[in-house]
Amino acid sequence: MLSKILPWDFIQKYPKSIDPKQFGINAFLIDEPYLERVILDRLPKKELKFSLYSGSDVTRDFIEEHFVNLSFFGGGYPILIMNAETIPSSSLDFLCETDIDWSERVIVLFFTKSGKQFLPFAKNKKVQAIELELPRFWEGAKLWQFCQKARDINLDGTVTRFALENLEHNFESFFWLIDTIKMNFPEGIVNFKVLQELVTKERWDFFELIDLFHRAPKLFFVEILKKEIDYEWMRTLSLFMQSHITKILFPEELRSKGKLSKYDQTVLDMSEKLNRDIMKYYLGFFSELEILSKSSDLFLVNRLRLETLK
């Protein structure tokens, strides 16, 4: 069963993304990485100890081991699947058609694109599927309120006007501003003049780092290691880089824009010239870096150092 819903309606209706007491097959279609992270972060991970897998892991043997057979390794642990669009149609069919006791089992699948296999799968009566719709261009104010709620912050009208009047109305820009505020004003009192200076400076710094990243990846990581490790800053950078690389890998939305900025045009040029396999590697790398940053993991520094040795 497939339903479509806007982000702010979703988190009001499903504060934990799924009901921890509702077992079975849950699927999400979310083609926006920042929004996907919000839904992931809200999963009831205290109640359900998920085992994480990629869609490429989900084969017939995988399903038999974890859901059909009562084996030692498949003892009913909740399963979380990322990049579920890479699951073969035959495996999705097998998951739905096989006689599995779902009374105490749960699988959650995150799709980032609607391929040929998604719609038939999502419409199966055994599947609870939700497609997160992206906000329309006139819903910037609602999107801004959603981003604040997702980050558990409530900013005043001055900051709100600044965000709506000076930033692109998208998840990346709004989350970037909120994360910048939380990092630089931890007590919650925002100095608006300082904020304006930070926005100008840090956005420029990030774009300079992007330029360095494409010119010389090793120097990019060396430059980051020169900075005193700030986990919140690293998380913001990781999200920024994931968004940038996603635009390179999937430039369709940029191509549909009426007026392109200089940055947009650069991204389109890169999408045609850069090695996609390398970009996919770095997309995964910065996703891993985001997780390490969020958990303040000391291994983050070693992970960066490893990249300088390649």
Give the pLDDT confidence of 215-268 residue by residue, as tens digits: 999 999 998 888 777 787 888 888 889 889 988 998 887 777 667 778 888 889
| Residue 73 CA: distances (Å) to CA of 64, 108, 157 | 11, 18, 53
pLDDT at 111: 94
Q: Which residues pair with 109 in a beta bridge?
A: 27, 81
For residue 129, what are its two tokens? 């599927």
Q: Containing H/E element for 180?
A: helix 171-184
Buried b / exposed e along 99-114 (16+ C-beta atoms within 10 A): ebeeeebbbbbbbbee
Give the pLDDT confidence of 168-226 residue by residue, as tens digits: 788 888 998 998 898 888 887 888 888 887 776 666 577 788 889 999 999 999 988 88
CATH class of domain segment(s) 2-132:
alpha beta
Domain map of the chain by residue range?
Answer: 2-132, 140-308
